[in-house]
Amino acid sequence: RQRTMTDHKTSKEQKYDRQLRLWGDHGQEGLENAHVCLLNATATGTEILKNLVLPGIGAFTIVDGHKVSGEDVGNNFFLTSSSIGKNRAQAATELLQELNSDVSGNFVEESPDKLLDNDPEFFHRFSLVIGVQLPESTCLRLGSVLWDAGVPFLVCRTYGLIGYMRLIVKEHTVIESHPDNALEDLRLDQPFTELKHHIESYDLDSMEKKDHSHTPWIIVVAKYLEKWYSEHNSQLPKNYKEKEAFRQLIREGILTNENGTPEDEENFEEAIKNVNTALNPTKVPSATEDIFNAEQCENITSQSPSFWVMAHGVRDFVRNEGNGKLPVRGTIPDMIADSDKFIKLQNVYRDKAMKDAAVVSKHVEALLQSFGKPPESISEQEIKLFCKNAAFLRVVRCRSLAEEYSMDTFNKDEITSCMDSADSEMVLYLMLRSVDRFYQQHSRYPGQKSYQKNLETLNHNGNSANVIFISSSCRYGAAEPHTVAAFLGGSAAQEAIKIITHQFVPFNNTFLYNAMSQTSATFQL
Amino acid sequence: MKNSREFQNFYFENDVVRQVVIALPRHKVAHFTLNVYDNMAEGEEPMVVDGGNGDRSDWQGQWDHVKKFLERAGPFTHPDFEPSTESLQFLMDTCKILVIGAGGLGCELLKDLALSGFRHIHVVDMDTIDISNLNRQFLFRPKDVGRPKAEVAADFVNDRVLGCNVVPHFKKIQDLDESFYRQFHIVVCGLDSVVARRWMNGMLLSLLIYEDGVLDPSSIIPLIDGGTEGFKGNARVILPGMTACIDCTLELYPPQINFPMCTIASMPRLPEHCVEYVRILLWPKEKPFGDGEALDGDDPKHIQWVYQKSLDRAAEFSITGVTYRLTQGVVKRIIPAVASTNAVIAAACATEVFKIATSAYVPLNNYMVFNDVDGLYTYTFEAERKENCSACSQVPQDLQFLPSAKLQEVLDYLTENASLQMKSPAITTTLDGKNKTLYLQTVASIEERTRPNLSKTLKELGLVDGQELAVADVTTPQTVLFKLNFIS
């Protein structure tokens, strides 16, 4: 059992320690195998890359045909005055590369449009393409190429005090979504055989105080549930009144001393507190149900990603051995109990989880074999992880840019219903769309060159809201203030990490940030 | 004029926009207008001519991005805002910003402020650089490990952003006094400790000047505070004496839960319990590295020892899951951290500093939370002042106890009450015209001398109904006054 110095962490483990605690070694590995492409090394772009280089992305490539201007240096931490006149992709690559020697930085001195003209397949090699401050036409062209190639595309822009992100990915599966407040999987409403046996091994009424006070609350609830069943026709407490009565039943089980005053039994207090959630009926969550019912789950082929193969395997389990229930998750929360009782109870759940995962494995193996793939193509470890997260699986599908922009399919309902609300960030989206239209015609943004303005008094008709935004959008003059770029830089980088690691859930699909009010919103357009 | 009209046309010629506007009933759009723009300045300001680049920039266009905001009017600007070239001048030449912390948030803040035009920035940090900082504290490199954060950060920014003058202070915030803090226009905090936040909060409150009970606005130093943990963060704006302060919302920082001693000592169930056993009980007993050698979470040899012993403890109870990483996490109370969350929160804070320094926009009122575990979520609300806040209400705090209550009960209340959460309060009072220390923990000799008082009753100690108690604690630079009310 003696460990040696090999346990002592490598300097990479030490450097990345704080983030490894979030996405684990396997997440880090995914990150280190990724190659990201950034279009345009503006402040927004370099801030995004900074937040990918620091955590150790494998490689990045900046595509930018611009030369560095004085204005560029003023808001960009990764450009200096000595880079003025040089190619922006190269200048930024040098200073970004310098952040982390583990990362490989590359640059292409070319405009994205030229690349799309001459070599669109250039983009196929990337794990993710991030387009920053791109004109609408370039976005749409690139969007089409990446959609067909199955490469995720993240569009970002800073426009004055507005931040905008759009994620385009056909289908993104997540096994490890790491939900913030997940409900426990205790099966108290339908205890599996091994759990039943274990509960039977306890006799609360005959216990000494020490044991009584250190019996896990799960056992306490289970025992009192049996009592309740015998008096209520085997029906779970359903409404508030019944749950209150059930809590009272448990409370009456607290030991009393010679004077009749109740003893201090924290485990019973825990039981009472947990009644509300512990008796939730065990069922497959709707998100998981949707995954089971998806076409990709139903029709497995040799091309199917392992996510769908495993989903099909779990679905088979649910419909057979699982009796409508997912494989047991296998974890229980900490609770007041002596070590022995707790560990034994924990092992009951753990062992059952292992058993269930083994059954799922059999289903998966059979599937793989049915189209000539070796069973090792999906490892035990992967299957175990999948089973453990079966209640938290997520699939994100984003509409294409073509769908968003086409007059036939643009999401009119979402847009108009948001505009009902006075403070909705949707108006910012419309403003950006209009600004893009202006750019198409004038090859510049409103107010970009100069701003001689005596704004006309406009009659107060229903269009005055739009006028005020017009005025502010002129005022912005397509400015890219650093703090807004930095906010987007952090936001976009984390979404990129989600896409690459397949952990945590990406947004779907349009994010707007208003730095004036410090508010934001996500729309599905 | 041409631009605005042209643009207006294109705005409505955008098919999507036109479809939407047509779909909306007129009154709804007008309603939208009124609600959002109620507070906005009436009419539009004629624009100040956008002339050259000013004579302060080092190269053509350096501050163009910033100038577009300071030299132009718009409907969202603060009612007091006057577009001019003076705002940028003030920002660059006169405005003094204090950044507290040069870590995950601090590095981001320094960059953000420097690239927003601020040139006179001071930064305070008592720490030195550790290798685990490098995944997000981007002003530091492997060669800087061991050096003071404030100094390395200042050097880097001064070198990278021409004209910026960041002055470092390798100190604890408590080592600097009011004459230091008074010189700043705005203080922005990127701290990792609630205690330090509360102290900073208390310091700025102590600088407030009241004349005949009326607060002098020129004595207010705005405090922008940011905090992050994993994928969560928050940014808030505090105008001391006017808006909710740190202590007003202390419940937003729930006390850290420590495992019960009986669990650690005799009933471990989790790997964490095993590590705590070694840290709290075994280390003082076995003194593996010598007498008086405290457990140093940053010393790999120490952690290795704790790890081995934790494995042994776990084996005794058939507990699995003890790893080196877990061990270090428990000993150091490590909070996971990434670059992205720090970037977001610092950016939001820096935006507020810019807004307040220039009056260019209405500041955040007053608290924003951020979470990007599932998509991206922000929520903005106005935290309210607490009427009897122990820090900012200037009202003596009420203490209700039986005369037969022991001093220990008062001590427990001061540390356990959710609104007070004191760490090691020192209680003094005036008895027979003389200042008397009832209990003080932080100096060993005084602790020993005053310890018997803890088991005495308040009556025995000579305290009367209405007695004023002055309490000092690490959470505040000023003593807090309490009034003892005897209940029967």
Q: H helices of B417-462, where?
A: 444-450
Contact between chains at A470 and B11 (C-beta distance less than 8 A): yes
Report the first-to-last Cα separation within chain B, whole angstroms: 78
Segment B405-414, tens digit of pLDDT:
999 999 999 9
Q: How close, in Å, is residue B382 to chain A by CA atoms? A: 12
B274 is catalytic: no
Per CB-CB distance under 8 Å, the chain A contacts of B21 are 462-463, 466
Q: How close, in Å, is residue B269 to chain A by CA atoms? A: 5
**Residue B101's pLDDT band (cuts 50, 70, 90):** very high
**Residue B79's pLDDT band (cuts 50, 70, 90):** low
By C-alpha distance, which of B287, B126, B444, B338 is closest to A504? B338
pLDDT per position in chain A (525 positions), as tens? Answer: 444 444 456 899 999 999 999 999 999 999 999 999 999 999 999 999 999 999 999 999 999 999 999 999 999 999 999 999 999 999 999 999 999 999 999 999 999 999 999 999 999 999 999 999 999 999 999 999 999 999 999 999 999 999 999 999 999 999 999 999 899 999 999 999 999 999 999 999 999 999 999 999 999 999 999 999 999 999 999 999 999 999 999 999 999 988 989 999 999 999 999 999 999 999 999 999 999 999 999 999 999 999 999 999 999 999 999 999 999 999 999 999 999 999 999 999 999 999 999 999 999 999 999 989 999 999 999 999 999 999 999 999 999 999 999 888 989 889 888 887 877 899 899 889 888 887 887 777 776 654 433 222 222 223 444 445 555 555 556 789 999 999 999 999 999 999 999 999 999 999 999 999 999 999 999
pLDDT at A478: 72
Query: Taking 80 as the threshold, does the pLDDT of residue B234 lie above it?
Result: yes
For chain B, what is the mean pLDDT? 85
Q: What is the average pLDDT across B273-285?
A: 97
Contact between chains at A490 and B16 (C-beta distance less than 8 A): no
**Best B2, B6, B18, B20 residue to mutate vs chain A (most A CBs within 10 Å):** B20
Contact between chains at A71 and B62 (C-beta distance less than 8 A): yes
Contact between chains at B111 and A77 (C-beta distance less than 8 A): yes
Return d(Cα A136, Cα A118) in angstroms, integer.
19
Task: Provide the 10 A C-beta neighbour count for residue B94.
Answer: 11
Per CB-CB distance under 8 Å, the chain A contacts of B61 are 69-71, 74
Of B17, B160, B315, the CB nearest to A434: B17
Tokens 């000092």 map to which residue?
A: B472
Return d(Cα B28, Cα B118) in angstroms, integer.
42
pLDDT at B91: 86
pLDDT at A354: 98
Contact between chains at A434 and B11 (C-beta distance less than 8 A): yes
Return d(Cα A83, Cα A61) in angstroms, integer.
18
Of A77, A416, A454, the CB nearest to B24: A416
Of B31, B60, B336, the CB nearest to A18: B336
Segment B390-433, tens digit of pLDDT:
899 878 889 999 999 999 999 999 999 988 999 999 999 998 88
With a CB cutoff of 8 Å and minimum separation 6, the contacts of A132 are: A38, A39, A40, A42, A44, A45, A48, A156, A157
| CB contact at 8 A, A114 and A65 | yes
Report the first-to-last Cα separation within chain A, whole angstroms: 56
How much is the pTM? 0.89
Contact between chains at A506 and B115 (C-beta distance less than 8 A): no
Q: How close, in Å, is residue A326 to chain B by CA atoms? A: 23
Query: Taking 60 as the threshold, does the pLDDT of residue B131 lie above it?
Result: yes
Which residues are B166's β-sheet partners? B121
Q: How close, in Å, is residue B407 to chain A by CA atoms? A: 25
Contact between chains at B16 and A337 (C-beta distance less than 8 A): no
Contact between chains at B72 and A451 (C-beta distance less than 8 A): yes
Q: Which two tokens stand for residue B478?
A: 């000023």
Q: Which of residues 44-63 of A touch B (CB under 8 A)?
A: 47, 50-51, 54-56
Per CB-CB distance under 8 Å, the chain B contacts of A466 are 11-12, 17, 21, 29
Q: Chain A residue with minimal CA distance to B366? A: A518
Rounded (10°) angle between helices A426-442 and A464-476:
60
Return d(Cα B319, Cα B113) in angstroms, integer.
49
pLDDT at A55: 98
Of A2, A71, A412, the CB nearest to B65: A71
| CB contact at 8 A, A325 and A284 | yes
Q: Which of residues 423-452 of A touch B (CB under 8 A)?
A: 423, 427, 430, 433-434, 437-438, 441-442, 446-447, 450-452
Task: Provide the 10 A C-beta neighbour count for residue B288.
Answer: 15
C-beta contacts of B86-89 below 8 A and 24+ residues apart: B87/B358, B87/B359, B87/B360, B88/B54, B88/B56, B88/B63, B88/B117, B89/B54, B89/B56
pLDDT at A448: 60
| CB contact at 8 A, B199 and B174 | yes
User: Which one is catalytic: B95, B164, B262, B389?
Assistant: B262
Q: What is the average pLDDT across B77-95?
A: 72
pLDDT at B59: 62
Q: What is the DSSP letter of B244?
A: -
A146 inside 8 A of chain B by CB: no
Q: Which two tokens stand for residue B322?
A: 């003890």
Task: Name the percent of chain B lying above pLDDT 70.
Answer: 83
| CB contact at 8 A, A112 and A131 | yes
